[in-house]
Structure 1
Amino acid sequence: MPKRTYFKQEWINPQINSEWAEIILPVEDNPFAFLCILCKKKVNLSNMGRQSIISHLKSTQHIKNTKLRSSNVKIDTFTQVNGNKEVYIENTQVTDTKTDQNQNKIYDQIHVNNIQMGKYFNKPNVFSAEIRWVFHLIESHSSYSSCSKTIPVLKKMFFDSNIAQNMSLGPTKASYLLVYGLAPYFTDILEKTLKECEYVVVCFDESLNKVAQKGQMDLVLRYWDKEVNLVVSKYLKSVFIEGRATAENILKHFFGRYLINIFK
């Protein structure tokens, strides 16, 4: 007769088993079973070991409960002030830890605290982390597509961080944050700064863009920044020149309507 499998503590280690570590718990009076928090059900391990967990996760009822939990979050759980996980369990179990009803309440509360709270209350911090990562992409000359591989790595490295776990940054989102969010923001700051400058030096360089097969003129501004008491250089814009790069054509694009009006 095949031997029965004991519950292993490594199964609830997020670093080893991130797929189910937060939704299963050992059963106190039965070392041959585990408790699914979502289904509120004890499942026998039999002789299958971790395979029985995988099998349960694929069951119709578990999938249904997973979808239900993600769409129905109790509002009163967001207004309660709770201590840490260990203190909450200890204080609640004093009344009656052997009843399934109390166990279910404890498991539900832990699940909401550990999974849902970070999702709903850390959005500003998550958004800030995503923006900082976009800055990192620019400074390190990395591609947008690199987000698809680096963000999952960050989630594995910082498995205990709600911010890392809720980061959602792909190539499209990264480009939108930069082009439609950060670029206009810093352009506005630059424009306000230039209005306070008495003198501004405009540096330009025209060369052929081999991809677009057009003349590309890059514009850089140099001015005295009162906040740092230094001469600073700021990239302004790149414009594409139609036709030959004559002095007249360059001047025409130099005063183009898409540039910041730096002349008083």
Structure 2
Amino acid sequence: MPQVTKFKRAWLSRRDDNGDELNLWLKQGSKETTFQCTLCKTSDLDCANQGYSAIYQHMNTKNHKANKNSLKDNSLLAIRTLKPQTVSIANDNNSGILVIDNSQKSTLLPFNDQITKAEIVWALTVARRGFTYNSCNGIGEVFKSMFPDSKIAQQFNMQSKKISYVMSHGIGPYFHRELVKKIKSREKFVLCIDEQTNNQSKKQLDLLVKFWSNDDGLVVTRYYKSILLGHAQASVLQCYL
């Protein structure tokens, strides 16, 4: 019987004809003798008989080259913050200001994910700069006019309702989880409460936390959540807190 070739992790560090590492899109399939291309979104491709030659043949197909070129037509976005692989929105005095860095090597993403990433970066900018949601209406048309050669800009769409949804249901829960992790890792923190009647004549309880931030090197105050109360008796506060 012919010898069966298994997927080798060493293949991930090889480079294609353009000098790009294969680990940007290559990964092992569900079996030891298969591989997948995340760029082309393939199912398991067999390498049992041809070994690395099967991978080489795939990355030289017209479809694979077209998918890769479509990504290279647009600069990949990277968020540079205090620490790699993290997203931070800090004060103007800090070095954690949101920065678009096109020179930093980033993970090769499918085109749709690049659009999503661009919309997230814009949402973070809106939050960072204090722009109103309504100011985002028509911003997609502005970007299309400014960057006619960018495929990402042509697909960018961010209206007031969408950015509200992205903030509350998209990136909001991520930052909330990160805040909870930081609080749990601290021995001590201060819980601050601010109770008031909002513009809907409902009692609103805002919760803030103060704790020492290792990233910032100082005591920081962070918003935790808001609670709408019918009545604010001590028993009700105890239940929510």
1:254 Cα deviation after fit:
5.3
**Alpha-carbon distance between aligned partners in 2 of 1:149 and 1:81, rounded to the nearest angstrom:** 31
Does residue 227 of the first structure (1) align with residue 215 of the second (2)? Answer: yes
Q: Is 1:188 the equivalent of 2:205?
A: no
Matches of 2:70 and 2:112 in 1, distance apart?
15
| Superposition TM-score, scaled by structure 2 size | 0.52
CA deviation after TM superposition for structure 1 residue 164, in Å: 1.3
2:230 aligned partner? 242
Aligned partner of 2:237 in structure 1 is 253
Q: In the alignment, is residue 137 of structure 1 matched against residue 126 of structure 2? A: yes
Change (3 A) 1:227 1:143: closer
Q: 1:162 offset after TM fit, Å? A: 2.0
Structure of higher CA gyration radius: 1
What residue number does 1:209 align with?
198
Uncovered stretches (5+) of structure 1, i.e. residues with no partner? 1-75, 83-112, 260-264
Asked if 1 retains the 8 angstrom alpha-carbon contact of 2:139 and 2:159, the reply is no
1:172 deviates by 3.0
1:234 to partner: Cα distance: 0.6
What letter corresponds to residue 189 of structure 1 in structure 2?
A: E
Q: Is the contact between residue 239 and residue 253 of structure 1 (CA under 8 Å) also seen in structure 2?
A: no
Counterpart AA for 1:80: K
Alignment length, in residue pairs?
A: 146
Answer yes or no: is 1:78 the counterpart of 2:63.
yes
CA distance in 2, matches of 1:189, 1:114: 34
What's the CA shift for 1:131?
0.5
Partners of 2:112 and 2:215 lie apart in 1 by: 32
Distance 2:144 2:66 in 1: 27
Tell me if the contact between 2:70 and 2:111 (Cα under 8 Å) persists in the aligned partners.
Answer: no
**Matches of 2:214 and 2:153, distance apart in 1:** 37
Higher helix share: 1
Instruction: Name the structure 2 match of 1:6.
Output: none
Cα offset, 1:77, TM superposition: 4.4
For residues 237 and 110 of structure 2, what CA distance do their matches in structure 1 show? 48
Give 1:170 deviation, angstroms. Answer: 2.3
1:161 CA drift (Å): 1.7
Calculate the aligned-residue CA RMSD, in Å: 2.9
Task: Flag the 1:155–1:81 CA change in 2: closer, same or farther, 3 A.
Answer: closer
Identity of aligned residues (%): 32
Query: What is the distance in 1 between the residues matched to 2:217 and 2:156?
Result: 37
1:202 touches 1:219 (CA, 8 Å); kept in 2? Answer: yes
Residue identity opposite 2:148 in structure 1 = F
* Cross-structure match for 2:44: none
Instruction: For residue 160 of structure 1, report the CA deviation from its aligned partner.
Output: 1.7
Q: How do 1:146-161 residues align onto structure 2 when only pairs under 5 Å count?
A: 146-161=135-150
Matched, 1:199 2:188: yes
2:137 aligned counterpart, secondary structure:
helix
The alpha-carbon deviation at position 185 of structure 1 amounts to 0.9
- Following TM superposition, by how much is the alpha carbon of 1:136 offset from its aligned partner in structure 2, in angstroms? 2.1
Deviation at 1:157, TM superposition (A): 0.8
Structure 2, unmatched stretches of 5+, are 1-60, 75-108
SS in 1 for 2:169: helix
Matches of 1:218 and 1:179, distance apart in 2: 16
What is the rounded CA distance, in whole Å, between the counterparts of 2:169 and 2:183 in structure 1? 22
**How much does 1:201 deviate?**
0.6
TM-score, normalised via structure 1 length: 0.48
